[in-house]
């Protein structure tokens, strides 16, 4: 049995040790990818791996827990141990991580007025319920129990959000109650305001910082903060940012490899670090997060490549070799080795075999929910993906007005199946003027609402805007409409299987396109989305994530584990009325349209 302690140095069995760690998110890749990623981290010269644990994937519905497949945190930790890596776990209920709602589950928003990340008894009871299932899975993996876990996080960057120390204490006490005996820590930015607000240094909870440059200056802030509280702990950067995330419609953020290597060398000479990210992975499904900038929500893209040391698909980059070199310079005794590479394959192009309008297959995919007033996504569904609201309004046979009140995030409006408007946060609430050539006494009006991703950082956590769908209602002329039919569209594998491709197609409406193909072999690949508009792609029922012609990425990564030797079905959900005739596989990602 080994012992890890935090004194003036990190001590492993009484001997000083420098932690050289990298972040790998088990939930952003397939389990088959874990070993190569962990091996490449070890080959870099690292001795530790760090990962967040997102609440929303492990308790997708309240009281229903899932630790299977790429959610099997125990298997991931044990695999790290088999490669002689120590493990830092961050099971805090909030993770940020450019992940949907910072890891909080969407169902928590059904509790009206709940104060998140606080001592609100309703919130803490839900934390207790989650921790009662999660923490007992982690405690046998602690170093003192023969596992590789050396420390765990209480909360993440709490000083950038709140200052309620009692909330941190209650969280700490829960972790201890459920059996955590290893050292606990907090991580915050390296400036005094957030360190004062977000740490429990007065209760001997270790303090770490998050930054990606100016190592000496940031380390000085951390050291001075510790000294003012009578602590002489080692310096550790828990998130040494080696790249950055990307948002739709913005240029890809890149960082020079030599610049990173110089900063990493400075940090290693000072103390310990965790490279964030070592391997970024992919926001499969609808789990991408969202930035908040002023009044705007800016959703992040599907790829979480992060310009990290390994690419999204796991290939070592120029940064990998530059950082590997400086690790050896500072720590000449570390074990290093050549990293493993990845193979990417193009399978060519395949024609679309069938298509159907969403409106013509709704009833085979989704069960209608009727109510007088609109329900939010969280009330009507899982809170992810799409929700279609259908109403019938009287036809007055002249120009008329509609207004969508309090909705998020993206609403497409159809009258008698014809698209008339698409509204985003900036325009939602603006009055729509419409006319119809229909001679019917009533008009069918549909509102397809997409949750583009809840914010993962900042002041909007307790904002009503994080509840998705139509929250207020629809105004027709100047009165609120009554009478709604809801069709939840989380687009899970069961819904994709239920699409009726024998129903009528209509390429001008949101549509599903089916491609059937046979493969004799499978490898990692990319799907070319450069000719498409907006939507998502499903490979054998698995949601690869969103594509959008706003860029900056025009392809979706498909791990080989999602494909099968033999027959495969790929389904594209295209919302923009763009006819899709074919699907093309690539052996590289696309960063320019039609390139």
The whole-angstrom separation of Cα 266 and Cα 202 is 29
CA distance 255 to 263: 12
Looking at residue 121, what is its pLDDT?
98
**Total H helices, total E strands in the chain:** 12, 32
- Bridge-based pairing state of the strands 484-489 and 386-394: antiparallel
Catalytic residues: 157, 239
End-to-end CA distance of the chain: 56
Give the per-residue pLDDT at 49.
99
CA 351 to chain centre: 31
CA separation, residue 489 to residues 448, 455, 544 (Å) = 10, 21, 16
Percentage helix, strand, coil for the chain under 3-state DSSP, each rounded to 5: 25, 30, 40
- Encode pLDDT of 51-101 as tens digits: 999 999 999 999 999 999 999 999 999 999 999 999 999 999 999 999 999
Q: What is the reported pLDDT for 538? A: 98
Q: What is the pLDDT of residues 483-539, one digit of tens each?
A: 999 999 999 999 999 999 999 999 999 999 999 999 999 999 999 999 999 999 999
Minimal CA–CA distance to 186: which of 396, 394, 367, 6?
Answer: 6
- All structural domains of the chain, each given as residue ranges with its CATH number in brackets, are 4-330 (3.20.20.80), 349-356+492-586 (2.60.120.260), 373-482 (2.60.120.260)
Asked if residue 187 lies in contact with residue 215, where contact means CB atoms within 8 angstroms, the answer is no
Q: Are strands 10-12 and 15-16 parallel, antiparallel or unpaired?
A: antiparallel
Q: What pLDDT score was predicted for residue 212?
A: 97
Residue 588 CA to residue 584 CA, distance in Å, equals 12
User: What tens digit of pLDDT does each residue of 17-44 get?
Assistant: 999 999 999 999 999 999 999 999 999 9
With beta carbons less than 8 A apart as the criterion, state whether 4 and 89 touch: no
Question: Chain centroid to CA 45: how far?
Answer: 28
Pair 463, 515: CB distance under 8 Å: no
Residue 213 burial (C-beta neighbours within 10 Å; 0-12, 13-18, 19+): middle
Q: Which tokens is 43 given? A: 């080959």
d(Cα 532, Cα 226) in Å, to the nearest integer?
53
| Chain Cα centroid distance, residue 25 | 10
Dist. CA 293–CA 579, nearest whole Å:
34
**DSSP secondary structure, 100-154, as one string:** GGGG--GGGGGSTT--SSS--HHHHHHHHHHHHHHHHHHGGGBGGGTSSEEEEEE
pLDDT tens by residue, the chain, 595 residues: 799 999 999 999 999 999 999 999 999 999 999 999 999 999 999 999 999 999 999 999 999 999 999 999 999 999 999 999 999 999 999 999 999 999 999 999 999 999 999 999 999 999 999 999 999 999 999 999 999 999 999 999 999 999 999 999 999 999 999 999 999 999 999 999 999 999 999 999 999 999 999 999 999 999 999 999 999 999 999 999 999 999 999 999 999 999 999 999 999 999 999 999 999 999 999 999 999 988 889 999 999 999 999 999 999 999 999 999 999 999 999 999 999 999 999 999 999 999 999 999 999 999 999 999 999 999 999 999 999 999 999 999 999 999 999 999 999 999 999 999 999 988 999 999 998 888 899 999 999 999 999 999 988 888 999 999 999 999 999 999 999 999 999 999 999 999 999 999 999 999 999 999 999 999 999 999 999 999 999 999 999 999 999 999 999 999 999 999 999 999 999 999 999 999 999 999 999 876 4
pTM: 0.97
Q: Are 140 and 171 in contact (CB under 8 A)?
A: no
Q: What is the pLDDT of residue 594?
A: 64
Nearest to 296 by CA among 377, 409, 449, 386: 409
Residue 458: per-residue pLDDT: 86
Per-residue CA distances from 379 to 115, 373, 376, 405, 523 (Å): 18, 12, 5, 17, 40
């Amino acid at each position: 049995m080994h012992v890890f302690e935090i004194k003036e140095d990190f001590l492993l069995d009484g001997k000083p040790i420098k932690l050289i760690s990298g972040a790998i998110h088990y939930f952003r890749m397939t389990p088959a990818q874990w070993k190569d990623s962990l091996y490449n981290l070890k080959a870099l010269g690292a001795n530790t791996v760090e990962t967040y644990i997102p609440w929303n994937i492990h308790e997708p519905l309240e009281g229903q827990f899932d630790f299977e497949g790429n959610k099997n945190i125990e298997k991931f930790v044990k695999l790290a141990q088999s490669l002689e890596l120590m493990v830092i776990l961050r099971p805090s209920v909030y993770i940020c991580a450019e992940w949907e709602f910072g890891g909080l589950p969407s169902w928590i928003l059904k509790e009206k007025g709940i104060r998140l990340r606080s001592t609100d008894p309703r919130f803490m009871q839900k934390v207790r319920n989650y921790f009662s299932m999660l923490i007992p899975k982690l405690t046998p993996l602690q170093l003192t129990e023969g596992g590789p876990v050396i420390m765990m996080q209480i909360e993440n960057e709490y000083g950038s959000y709140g200052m309620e120390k009692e909330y941190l204490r209650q969280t700490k006490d829960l972790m201890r109650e459920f059996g955590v005996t290893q050292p606990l820590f907090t991580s915050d930015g390296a400036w005094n305001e957030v360190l004062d607000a977000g740490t429990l240094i007065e209760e001997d909870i270790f303090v770490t910082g998050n930054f990606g440059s100016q190592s000496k200056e940031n380390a000085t802030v951390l050291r001075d903060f510790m000294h003012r509280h009578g602590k002489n702990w080692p310096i550790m950067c828990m998130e040494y940012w080696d790249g950055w995330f990307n948002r739709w419609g913005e240029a890809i953020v890149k960082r020079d490899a030599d610049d990173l290597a110089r900063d990493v060398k400075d940090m290693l000479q000072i103390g310990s670090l965790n490279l964030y990210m070592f391997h970024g992975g992919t926001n499969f499904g609808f789990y991408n997060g969202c930035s908040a900038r002023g009044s705007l929500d800016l959703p992040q893209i599907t790829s979480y490549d992060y310009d990290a040391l390994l690419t999204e698909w796991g290939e070592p980059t120029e940064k990998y070799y530059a950082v590997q070199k400086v690790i050896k310079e500072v720590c000449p005794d570390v074990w290093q080795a050549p990293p493993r590479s990845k193979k990417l394959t193009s399978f060519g192009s395949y024609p679309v075999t069938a298509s159907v309008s969403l409106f013509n297959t709704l009833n085979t995919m989704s069960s209608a929910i009727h109510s007088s007033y609109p329900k939010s996504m969280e009330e009507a569904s899982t809170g992810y993906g799409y929700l279609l609201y259908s109403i019938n309004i009287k036809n007055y046979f002249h120009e008329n007005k509609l207004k969508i009140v309090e909705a998020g995030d993206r609403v497409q409006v159809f009258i008698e199946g014809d698209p008339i408007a698409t509204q985003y946060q900036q325009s939602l609430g603006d009055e729509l003027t419409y006319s119809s050539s229909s001679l019917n006494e009533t008009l069918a009006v549909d509102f397809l609402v997409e949750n583009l991703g809840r914010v993962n950082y900042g002041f909007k956590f307790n904002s009503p805007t994080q509840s998705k769908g139509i929250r207020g209602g629809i105004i027709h002329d100047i009165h609120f409409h009554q009478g709604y039919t809801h069709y939840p569209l989380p687009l899970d594998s069961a819904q994709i299987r239920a699409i009726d491709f024998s129903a009528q197609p209509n390429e001008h409406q949101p549509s599903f396109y089916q491609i059937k193909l046979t493969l004799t072999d499978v490898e990692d690949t990319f799907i070319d989305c450069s000719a498409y508009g907006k939507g998502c792609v499903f490979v054998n029922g698995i949601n690869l994530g969103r594509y959008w012609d706003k860029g900056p990425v025009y392809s979706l990564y498909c791990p080989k584990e999602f494909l099968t030797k033999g027959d495969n079905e790929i389904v594209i959900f295209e919302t923009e009325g763009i006819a899709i005739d074919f699907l093309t596989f690539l052996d590289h990602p696309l960063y320019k349209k039609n390139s």
